[in-house]
Structure 1
Amino acid sequence: MLWIMVFFLFFSGGMSLQCYVCNSLHVGEDCISTDKLMASDEFRVNCTELPDGERYTYCRKMVHQIPHEGEVETRVVRQCGYINTTMNICQKTGMHKDGGQLLCSCDTDNCNGSSQLHSEKTVFSLLTLAAVVYLI
C-alpha cells in the first residue's frame, strides 16, 4: 500500500504541466482577478510547449506592490518556472508600506490561478510521512 502511495506522489500528473501565464501590466484586471482568470482558458498554457518547456516543473505567481505617483499599484505576473524558489508556499520579500513582492510557486496544473497556493503533492507527502511514522 505504501509503495502505491509513493508512486502516485512522484509520478502522478503525467509529464506536462499547465500554468496560467499573464502579466497584469499588459492584460490588466484579467490577470489579477482570480475569478476572471479561472473563468477563461485564455491564459492557460501547457508549459512543455514553450521553448525549453521540458525544464518547467513549477508554476509561479508574483504579486508586486509598486509605489507610483503617490499610490501603490498592484501588478501580478503568472508564469511557468523551473526553479521552485519558495518550496510550494508563498514568501513575502521587501514588504513595507510603500511596496514589496509576494512570490509563490506550486507544482500542480493551474495552481498559480488561485489566491492561496497549495501543492497537492506537498499535502500528500505530509500525510504519507505521518502514516509511515504512525506505523513504525
Structure 2
Amino acid sequence: MKLEYLICLCIFGVVMVARPGAAILCYECNSKNDSRCADEELPDTLLKNCSHHVKGSQYILCRKIVQTIDFTVNENPPDSRTIRSCGSNNSSYSESCYSRGGFGGRQEVCSCMTDKCNHASQLFMGYILFLAPVGLIFTHLLQSVH
C-alpha cells in the first residue's frame, strides 16, 4: 500500500516540475555583450519571466548554450561565449544536453524546465528531483521481490 502512495507522490512531483503553460523564470544573457553571463554566480538582474516575451506561453523551458570557435573562420577570431535564454522547443532534447560540432567550432546546448535552471550549478536539478523518487521505487520493488 505504501508503494502506491509513493508512486502517486512521484507523479505529482513530476507534474509540478514540468507544468506546461506555467510561467518560467530563466536567465537571459549573452557573454559577448555581458561578461557576467559566463560567470558561475548570476545576478537576478539577468532573470526574465519568459511569459513576457511575444507569444510568451510558448516559452516552456530554459536553455544554456556554450559556443566555442576554435580558430579563425571567415576572419572571425577564436572565441567562446555563453548564451542563456528562454526556450520554446520541447523536442526530444528537453531536460537534457546535446553537442554539435562543425568546421572550426562546436556548441553544447542544455535545456531544463524549472525556474532559474539555466544557471551553471543548477542545470540538472530537475534530474535529481525526478531520479531520487524513481530510485526509491525501484529499491522498494527489489526488496519486495526478495
User: What is the TM-score when the length of structure 2 is the normalising length?
Assistant: 0.73
Q: Percent identity?
A: 30
Residue equivalent to 1:25: 32
Aligned counterparts of 1:116 and 1:132: Cα–Cα separation in 2: 24
Decide whether aligned partners of structure 1 residues 84 and 95 sit closer, same or farther in structure 2, where only a CA change above 3 A counts: farther
The letter for the 2-side match of 1:112 is N
Residue equivalent to 2:48: 45
Instruction: Find out whether 1:93 has 2:100 as its counterpart.
Output: yes
- Superimposed CA distance per residue, residues 22-68 of structure 1 (whole angstroms, 9 cap, x where no aligned partner): 122222x1111223xx2x22210011121111111110011111234
Aligned counterparts of 1:65 and 1:87: Cα–Cα separation in 2: 22
Instruction: Find out whether 1:103 has 2:106 as its counterpart.
Output: no
Which of 1 and 2 has greater Rg?
Answer: 2
Paired residues of 1:89 and 1:117 also in contact (CA < 8 A) = no
Structure 2 gaps, min length 5 = 142-146
**What secondary structure is seen at the aligned counterpart in 2 of 1:5?**
helix
Moved more, 110-119 or 17-26: 110-119
**What secondary structure is seen at the aligned counterpart in 2 of 1:42?**
helix
Return the match for 1:129 from 134, 141, 145: 134
Aligned counterparts of 1:95 and 1:116: Cα–Cα separation in 2: 28
Return the match for 1:117 from 114, 123, 126: 123
Residue equivalent to 1:6: 11
The letter for the 2-side match of 1:46 is N
Q: How many residues align?
A: 130
Decide whether aligned partners of structure 1 residues 34 and 84 sit closer, same or farther in structure 2, where only a CA change above 3 A counts: farther
- Give the Å deviation of 1:115: 5.3
What RMSD over aligned residues (CA atoms) do the two structures have, in Å?
Answer: 2.5
Aligned counterparts of 1:53 and 1:114: Cα–Cα separation in 2: 24
Moved more, 42-51 or 125-134: 125-134
Moved more, 52-61 or 65-74: 65-74
Aligned counterparts of 2:119 and 2:138: Cα–Cα separation in 1: 34
Aligned counterparts of 1:74 and 1:82: Cα–Cα separation in 2: 24
- Give the Å deviation of 1:135: 3.6
Aligned counterparts of 2:115 and 2:125: Cα–Cα separation in 1: 10
